[in-house]
Amino acid sequence: MVSTLDTIRLNAMAKINLGLDVIGKRPDGYHDVRMIMQSIRLYDRIDIESTPQPGISLRTNLPFLPTDERNIAYKAARRMLEDFHIDGGVKISIEKHIPVAAGMAGGSTDCAAVLYGMDQLFSLGLGQEKLMKIGLSLGADVPYCLLRQAALAEGIGEVLTPLPPIAPCHILIAKPPVSVSTGQVYQSLILDRDTPHPDIDGMARAMKTGSLPGVVSRLGNVLESVTISMHPVIADIKKNIMSAGALGALMSGSGPTVFGIFDDEGKARAAYDIIRDSGLVQQVFLTSPVDFEKQAE
């Protein structure tokens, strides 16, 4: 975070789902989930500037993204201005690097950054718990993005139990040239007694003991079968990542992004080249998990 009296710059971190289980559908239409999420070193750059003029000015480096209230970051700014009767307005600049509509919480993390940034910029003193409550009203992943560490997420994603980060590793991110609607994926999900459910509790124990093999052996995402049926290229990418030496590979969130976990940097770099040149992907990144406790030391 970089801050002056009237501007603030933040890194809005992406996440991956190491495990994603869906328990059932709720009467309100949402689904109860149990997920383990991990922040990674891939982020959007958010700049927020206070202005004496009322209103919100939002711009991004991607011309196809909306810059009005269709953008969740814009909604966050409007909510903060209205709820806390802030005089003046804000200019927001979002430099996008996280793939869009990709299962990596790109929109939610931008929203979280705006909430946190405006709390700091205007000295509101709201704190994490209050910001999470506001964030939940904007999106189910926003509270996690405000937490900014590995966590078990339950309920619709808002009941968070912090976890130690995954053991040090190298993470390959690969997004095919397709976008996915989270709502459509959940609407198409059919849960029955044959649905394979990942071992979320076992993965949480492995996170706590720092066992990378224990985490990788339990990678699982209930939504994979739905999204892969829509976009078979996801299965092809997973196969190629595993063939390139990954310990494990999985679709993140509702997709279509696939990540691979490597314990060897050389193998990870070689896999990056293979996947980049495969013709299957639109974006590819090589990154690592974030350990915010170490960053704070």
Helix ranges (DSSP H) in 122-232: 127-136, 142-147, 182-188, 200-209, 212-216, 224-230
| Residue whose structure tokens are 């909510």 | 79
Tell me the longest C-alpha to C-alpha distance in the chain: 59
| Residue whose structure tokens are 């279509």 | 256
Q: Phi/psi at 14 (nearest 5 deg)?
A: -80, 165
Which of 15, 75, 96, 238 does the annotation list as catalytic?
15
Query: What does the alpha-carbon distance between residue 212 and residue 215 come to, in Å, rounded to a whole number?
Result: 5
The question of whether 238 is a catalytic residue gets the answer no
Query: What does the alpha-carbon distance between residue 181 and residue 44 come to, in Å, rounded to a whole number?
Result: 21
The question of whether 141 is a catalytic residue gets the answer yes
Preceding omega of 256 cis (within 30 degrees of 0): yes
Query: What does the alpha-carbon distance between residue 108 and residue 14 come to, in Å, rounded to a whole number?
Result: 9
Which of 21, 44, 110, 141 does the annotation list as catalytic?
141
Return the active site residues. 15, 141
